[in-house]
Structure 1
Amino acid sequence: MTLKPSTFVEWLHVSMTGAQRAERKHIIHFSDRHHYEACIRQWNEMRQSLAGRNKIQPLKIINAISCSLSNTDKLSSIPFIKSIESDTKMRVHAVRAANGAQPSDGSIRSGAANIPWGIKRIHAPQAWNKSKGERIRIGVIDTGADYTHPDLRHCLSYGVNLLNRLLMPNDDNGHGTHIAGTIAASSRQHGITGVAPRAMIHPVKAFDHQGSAYVSDIISGIDWCVQNEMQIINMSFGMRTYSKALETAIRNAYHAGVIVVASSGNEGKQATIDYPARLRQVIAVGATTKRGRIAPFSNVSKSIDIYAPGEKIYSTWLRGKYNELSGTSMATSHVTGVVALILSRKAGLSPLHVKSIIKKNAKILPKPGVSIKEVHALRAVGGVAKTASTGR
């Protein structure tokens, strides 16, 4: 059966009519770029004449669209529709520290010590004479970032607000600002210093003020990062269910040479981790404590590539303040910073090669029956010179 794009758009409009605005979103995959682009063009031509306010979200990186559907019966029978899946939600991976620390009044707790314990533990300061993350572009898909924070002003570059593209990707939650601080904060006086203080962060606001986002928004964020030539994508979030659409987007980013770092989850589960960290194209990160043990909240699995400090991590917060959070999110930002140090030392390394450098140069933590590798910034940066680049 041959179906014209105009007929598809009419069917799509009918299938969207009556759908609950936010609860019944789906991702529609096209079989190829040709049919995807033809239908997008047709939708743009016809949408003015279609009744109602139905909207679609193009997901070019995977030849798909996201929209609210009341039913999928008619669309699933179309020859050039590869698949239709639910557009599910996921959340950021952070929990308040056990002591319930609230945002401080804006000054660091100890005036002399402006390097948080996690950054010290992974030996980042000792690597700074070789690399500080210069010229490295990092897409942080999260809740946005506080552009006014004194410790982040130097490192925050242009980004995108996927929830409202007319607005700046300003943080209304705090999580994204906290992540940005651990990666690249820099302060000459009373603030904190991150792992890669000269890297550039490009905030990609995909999560709302509650720390929730749809898979389609994550895919749009990945697409933006690839199109804007980010070298690293930080993903401090996850979900338990598998999404073919998300895997396809991450695989495409991987083949474009982008290193994706993702958190494993905070359920304290054994032998399982969340998506997207479970995907093989990702550097999966678990969390450790100040005592060098696996954090009790961290998921544990052979699928985890590397561990990093994630307990009671002190970092930047909204309105120029600081806060202490725990989670595999915080561990992930440490690893992203180390990747920036590596790439600044030697640009063009493939994602597989970067993962190998981090794992081979890790610190082995004592745990009976399990090999736990904690990221070691100094060794990783030193390890770059010992290996030949595989390129992209």
Structure 2
Amino acid sequence: MKILSFHRKHPFPAILSELQEKISRHMVKQPWNCYEDVGCLCVKQDAFDLYREDFLRYNPTVEENVTVRIHAADEIPWGVKYVGAERKWKKGMGKGVKIAVIDTGIARDHYELRDRVKGGVDLVGGKRNGHGTHVAGIIVAEMNQEGIVGVSPEAHLYDVRAFREDGTASLSHILRAIHWSIVNEMDMINMSFGMEGYSEALDRMIQRASRQGIVMVASAGNSGGEVEYPARYSGVIGVGAIDQEGKLADFSSRGKGMNVKAPGVGIKSTWPGNTFRTLNGTSMAAPHVTGLLALRLGRKKKIASRV
């Protein structure tokens, strides 16, 4: 479509009458929208091409039918701001980094996530709860001028579902989930879960993933006491939760195994049904760190690709 604005010195009604007479002989439908009081026509492209000389006879200003956007913007949650993700986006947004989220499953149809989830596996079946979707949004909620934005909005997420709707999983499913991540060559694994006791089998699987170069991030726990496993294992980055003042949250586990702290209080993120929810927990802190490390890894991949 072309938009034509005729000079105010020319009698627009006369111009319009002449054009109508010329075109009506060959066209059944009106090929334009007319705004007579301002001397403008919005002309269909085929009509403009066919009668170009007639339209241009009076030297109108001709404009393309450009796209106009609302002044909308993604909300940047306080946690994403706190970890300094915005400054790092200038050097990349985690593009191409493969992150496995071992959790309760992800609502892949959420408009913030549907283009970011690239695959995965469901090891348990049945209904899901929103925990995994919330974790996913913190990492990769898309920069699309709607909703929120995650820490690494161009990373590739993999939905590795090992937890049932009630938020529990068997150790065997956790082992399978990590093994799947190894076989499918993930760059990172986010583990927003924990257990109190040590497991030899889980330790071995963690070490196997570490030897392959997979970066693993886990939540410290919400008991206010000792850090749980897998965050306590060597080779895993254990994450405690802080509030907006930078203080360690009362519920956050602490001590040996808590390697870093990240936002985990009042965290807004994606929720099933194309909605959002605000939650507290070290489960919310871990994906902030996962996202930050994905930004760093994405930059390395970008540099390597140039060599």
Task: Tell me the TM-score normalised to structure 1 length.
Answer: 0.58
2:265 to 308, 311, 321: 311
Letter in 1 for 2:172: S
Cross-structure match for 2:192: 236
Cross-structure match for 2:275: 321
Q: What is the Cα-based RMSD across aligned positions, in Å?
A: 1.6
Cross-structure match for 2:129: 173
> Are residues 1:294 and 2:255 paired?
no
Letter in 1 for 2:237: I
Given that 1:177 and 1:316 are in contact with CA atoms closer than 8 Å, whether structure 2 keeps it comes out as: yes
- SS of the residue 1:300 aligns to: coil
The superposition leaves residues 154-187 of structure 1 with CA deviations (integer Å, 9 ceiling, x where unpaired) of 21111000114xx9xxx71000000000000114
- SS of the residue 1:241 aligns to: coil
Given that 1:137 and 1:232 are in contact with CA atoms closer than 8 Å, whether structure 2 keeps it comes out as: yes
Cross-structure match for 1:343: 297
Query: For residues 279 and 132 of structure 1, what CA distance do their matches in structure 2 show?
Result: 29
Given that 1:155 and 1:198 are in contact with CA atoms closer than 8 Å, whether structure 2 keeps it comes out as: yes
Query: For residues 279 and 215 of structure 2, what CA distance do their matches in structure 1 show?
Result: 25
Given that 2:96 and 2:155 are in contact with CA atoms closer than 8 Å, whether structure 1 keeps it comes out as: yes
Task: Tell me the TM-score normalised to structure 2 length.
Answer: 0.73
Query: For residues 305 and 113 of structure 1, what CA distance do their matches in structure 2 show?
Result: 31
Q: How many residues align?
A: 232
Given that 1:150 and 1:187 are in contact with CA atoms closer than 8 Å, whether structure 2 keeps it comes out as: no
What is the Cα deviation at residue 339 of structure 1?
A: 1.0
Query: For residues 286 and 297 of structure 2, what CA distance do their matches in structure 1 show?
Result: 17
What is the Cα deviation at residue 112 of structure 1?
A: 5.4
- SS of the residue 1:283 aligns to: strand
- SS of the residue 2:228 aligns to: coil
What is the Cα deviation at residue 113 of structure 1?
A: 6.0
Given that 1:289 and 1:311 are in contact with CA atoms closer than 8 Å, whether structure 2 keeps it comes out as: yes
1:262 to 205, 218, 233: 218
Given that 1:187 and 1:193 are in contact with CA atoms closer than 8 Å, whether structure 2 keeps it comes out as: yes
Given that 1:286 and 1:299 are in contact with CA atoms closer than 8 Å, whether structure 2 keeps it comes out as: yes
The superposition leaves residues 283-315 of structure 1 with CA deviations (integer Å, 9 ceiling, x where unpaired) of 111110011100111011142111000001000
Query: For residues 346 and 190 of structure 1, what CA distance do their matches in structure 2 show?
Result: 29
What is the Cα deviation at residue 333 of structure 1?
A: 0.4
Query: For residues 347 and 305 of structure 1, what CA distance do their matches in structure 2 show?
Result: 25
> Are residues 1:208 and 2:164 paired?
yes
Query: For residues 212 and 73 of structure 2, what CA distance do their matches in structure 1 show?
Result: 42
Query: For residues 193 and 239 of structure 1, what CA distance do their matches in structure 2 show?
Result: 30
> Are residues 1:150 and 2:106 paired?
no
Q: Which structure has the larger Rg? A: 2
- SS of the residue 2:90 aligns to: coil
Query: For residues 130 and 189 of structure 2, what CA distance do their matches in structure 1 show?
Result: 18
Given that 2:140 and 2:291 are in contact with CA atoms closer than 8 Å, whether structure 1 keeps it comes out as: yes
- Structure 1, gaps ≥5 residues long: 1-110, 349-384, 386-392
- Structure 2, gaps ≥5 residues long: 1-71
Given that 1:286 and 1:331 are in contact with CA atoms closer than 8 Å, whether structure 2 keeps it comes out as: yes
Query: For residues 228 and 238 of structure 1, what CA distance do their matches in structure 2 show?
Result: 23
